[in-house]
Amino acid sequence: MQQRTIGTFTVSAIGLGCMNLSHAYGTPPSAEQGERVLLEAVQAGVTLFDTAALYGFGGNETLVGRVLKPHRNNLMLCSKGGLAGVTGDDGVVRRAIDGRPEALRRNLEDSLRRLQTDVIDLYYLHRWDKKVPVEDSVGALADFVRAGKIRAIGLSEVSAATIRKAHAVHPVTAVQTEYSLWTRNPEIAVLDACKELGITFVAFSPVARGFLCDAVPDVAAFDAKDIRKSMPRFDPANYAENLKLLPGYRELAREAGCTPAQLALAWLLHKRDDIVPIPGTTSVSHLRENLGAGDVRLSPDLLQRLEPHINQRTVHGNRYSLQSRGEVDTEEFPGD
């Protein structure tokens, strides 16, 4: 498998986003199926695994920690804090953004315990808590580095300006944001900021939450807990328009000699060598398919036809709801 660098780490060019195994897209798979996916990834040469305190309200970290513990020394383990489950007075666990140093410390200790490790290789601020100066949150993460509890600092869903503020406090090793053919926001400023500062860009949802796999079922059939139900691009009216992009996209994949999912991932790998995509899946066969993207070679001519076909101008609907857009700090295109 191709290799790329994140700070001082050398990792597989395609990592595994573990969220799907416990969270987000309806009823998650069984623990046994999650274990099969994780172990197959290890066997296939994946060395970058990405989880978070939020995913399954700790359940994903528990799964990842248990399954990957025997392989820990050969992997780069990444998690996130600052966005986690909090139990209310009514006993219900709800997501909460909290970037205060004391909250981050609590998140980290919980993550270390669930992951069954003494140190997390890359620890992200999952969301910038806009009530707390980012310098204060990153200062806490810097303390964790000095204490030997994390090895590197990451940021998630932030703007170029916030990256620069954080980097001035402590070097940022990675920035993680949604990036795919149909979500180009990082191209506004974040990719350039990362290149300037020597920060690796980690692309989540690189296959557009299933759309670029050509595998999204009828949106009306989404499970009640599927987070895509609240995403404007999957609104029935917008989605009907977005489906019109798929025939041409399928043809480009056929021309490239790959599957639609592999085309999406290969596009990211061709963009720059400091981008690492982390597709997620609940299927061993889809995992193998995704990893095969590393062998796909795209001609300059095909790339010139692919990029205008699916981009922020041709896709209908914003990537997030109005509420979710208020929780992130990423730049937006005019008219978004």
275-294: pLDDT as tens digits: 999 999 999 999 999 999 99
Q: Active site residue: 25, 55, 179, 249, which one?
A: 55
Q: What is the spatial distance between Cα 51 and Cα 120, in angstroms, rounded to a whole number?
A: 11
For the purposes of burial, counting CB atoms within 10 Å of the CB of 128, is it exposed (0-12), middle (13-18) or buried (19 or more)? buried
In sequence order, what E strands does 70-220 have?
A: 76-81, 83-87, 93-97, 120-125, 150-156, 174-178, 200-204
Q: Which pLDDT tens digit goes with each residue over 167-181?
A: 999 999 999 999 999
Cα distance between residue 72 and residue 231, in whole Å: 35
In degrees and rounded to multiples of 5, residue 147 shows phi and psi of: -80, -5
Residue 123 annotated as catalytic: no
* Mean pLDDT on 296-323: 97
Looking at the chain, the whole-number percentage of residues with pLDDT higher than 90 is: 93
pLDDT of amino acid 157: 98
220 Cβ neighbours under 8 A, 6+ residues apart: 236
Mean pLDDT of the residues in the chain: 96
DSSP state of 240: H
Q: How many CA atoms lie within 13 A of 321 on its CB side?
A: 9
- For the chain, which domains are there? 3-327 (3.20.20.100)
By the 8 A CB rule, do 50 and 18 touch? yes
Arithmetic mean of pLDDT, 46-73: 97
Q: 116: which residues sit within 8 A by CB, 6+ positions away?
A: 65, 66, 69
Tens of pLDDT, residue by residue over 79-109, are 999 999 988 888 888 999 999 999 999 999 9
